[in-house]
Amino acid sequence: MARAMHAAMSRAWLIGAGPGDVELMTLKATRALAQADVVLVDDLVNPDVLQFARADALVIYVGKRGGHPSTPQAGIIVQMLAHLRAGRSVARLKGGDPFVFGRGGEELQALQAAGIDAEVINGITAGIAAPAAIGIPVTHRDHAQGVVFVTGHSAGSGEPDWAALVATRMTLVIYMGMRRLSDIVGALLAAGMNADTPCAAIESATRPEQRHALARLGEFADTVSRAGLGSPAIVVIGGVASLALARSVPMKTLSVGVGCRLHTSAVQIETAVRAALGSHTFDEISTIASIDSKAHEAGLLEFCARHALPIALFSREQIAAIPVAEPSAVAREHLGVDGVCEPCALLGAANVSAGSAASAASAASAASAASAASAASAASAASAVPNAQLLVRKTAHAGVTVAIASIIARTEHEPTTHDTEKQDLP
Ligand code: SAH
């Protein structure tokens, strides 16, 4: 009995929440989280993962907030022990993997010293997930026989031996390296690394706001700073980064048609678009398309501005000319058309494919875009939409409908300086 009580008291988990995308959390992690009375959450953890916690769980944020120093490590342990001794089960939730630069090792030791056996549940570490998110495998037989995970943050124990790392010829994956990036690049060059070595920095990987920059080592620090990339980001240095360079030929081939009610928030739209995108990324979106009556819909404009996406707006007549597989009674009643998101997705794709730059404008000038779009694509809309095909049929998410069409390129899409810049800039 006493043993059982002790076991109950010592239920503690060190859980890796993965890099950000909730779906990259393990089943084991979600199950443990669902049992915890108390959840101590780190900064880099996507708060969305708390959907797996019990509704009545006590959630405590212990990360750095808005530049404030994080709760001292010792304080976190004290809190955990206090809850455990009071008989509450405690989940310690950390970004990525708890044992990769997460101080999970130290916390486990402290718990063990207090006689508590915490269970460690792995997460997908950012050092693998972030490169993968832009098509970089950290090892590849043609490029690197291995990978080194290293911190760029030289606190206490001093600087990594960059020269020794260069000599390994392995992929370098640098965590916490953004603040000192130019020093690190300098050290690598000084150690004889080729200035042509491909490099990548991926910020907020696997989250909707993911961004990245690609450059050769010689220009890397400048490129990253011009792109305004900051933490959290993973830096990848080595031949494997060229696989992203190859992919950096912009593949902005998606047109996302959005239908929403009045006063839908940017967050609701974002959630719905993300759900419809599935394995596609925001980087692939060329345009957002909707009906022109949404020209002043604040949530929609904010969503577009946030992702620096142009919006194309179409008139009721243009939309009505596109057949819809499953007509919507709501759309018919309120807008006089059979559907909004599917026709708009197709019209948006046709617009881009026709190269009618005038039809796509920044979210800020959405209203003027409406009239430009009307003129530009009236002809193409009349017949079934050329150069466009529906990729994702209408999906509905909390009152927002989303459909995705892709542009069928007339010729292989050629990269332009403009596209390249757009991909790397905020
Ligand atoms: N335990 C974590 C790492 C914690 S150290 C893991 O395994 O991923 C914090 C660093 O991780 C950040 O400075 C950044 O370099 C990296 N990082 C964490 N999440 C990230 C993300 N979503 N995108 C890019 N880098 C991330």
Please list, in sequence order, all residues whose beta carbon lies within 8 angstroms of the beta carbon of residue 88, skipping any fewer than 6 positions away: 37, 38, 58
Q: Which of 25, 80, 170, 176 is catalytic?
A: 176
Asked if 282 and 422 count as a contact pair (C-beta separation under 8 A), the reply is: no
User: Does the model's pTM come out above 0.85?
Assistant: no
Ligand 1 atom at minimum distance from 127 CA: 8
**Any atom of ligand 1 within 6 Å of the Cβ of 205:** yes
> pLDDT tens digits, the chain, 426 residues: what are they?
444 444 445 599 999 999 999 999 999 999 999 999 999 999 889 999 999 999 999 999 987 554 445 667 788 999 999 999 999 999 999 999 999 998 899 999 999 999 999 999 999 999 999 999 999 999 999 999 999 999 998 755 678 999 999 999 999 999 999 999 999 999 999 999 999 999 999 999 999 899 999 999 999 999 999 889 999 999 999 999 999 965 544 467 799 999 998 899 999 999 999 999 987 888 889 899 999 999 999 999 999 998 889 999 999 999 999 999 899 998 899 889 999 999 999 999 988 766 543 333 333 343 344 444 443 443 344 346 777 889 999 999 988 999 999 877 543 333 333 333 333 333
Q: Ligand 1 centroid vs 366 CA: distance in angstroms? A: 36
Angle subtended by helix axes 217-227 and 181-190, to nearest 10: 170
**Any atom of ligand 1 within 6 Å of the Cβ of 92:** no
**Known catalytic residue at 424:** no
Asked if 270 and 207 count as a contact pair (C-beta separation under 8 A), the reply is: no
Asked if 344 and 319 count as a contact pair (C-beta separation under 8 A), the reply is: yes
Domains of the chain, first to last = 2-124 (3.40.1010.10), 127-247 (3.30.950.10), 254-417 (3.30.420.180)
d(CA 401, CA 226): 36
d(CA 128, CA 139): 10
Q: How far apart are the first and last CA of the chain?
A: 59
Residue nearest to ligand 1 atom 13, measured at CA: 176
Angle subtended by helix axes 104-113 and 73-85, to nearest 10: 40
Residue nearest to ligand 1 atom 25, measured at CA: 233
**Known catalytic residue at 251:** no
Task: Return the sign of the alpha-carbon dihedral for residues 390, 294, 276, 412.
Answer: positive
**Known catalytic residue at 176:** yes
**Any atom of ligand 1 within 6 Å of the Cβ of 131:** no
H-helix segments, 278-315 = 298-306
d(CA 258, CA 269): 8
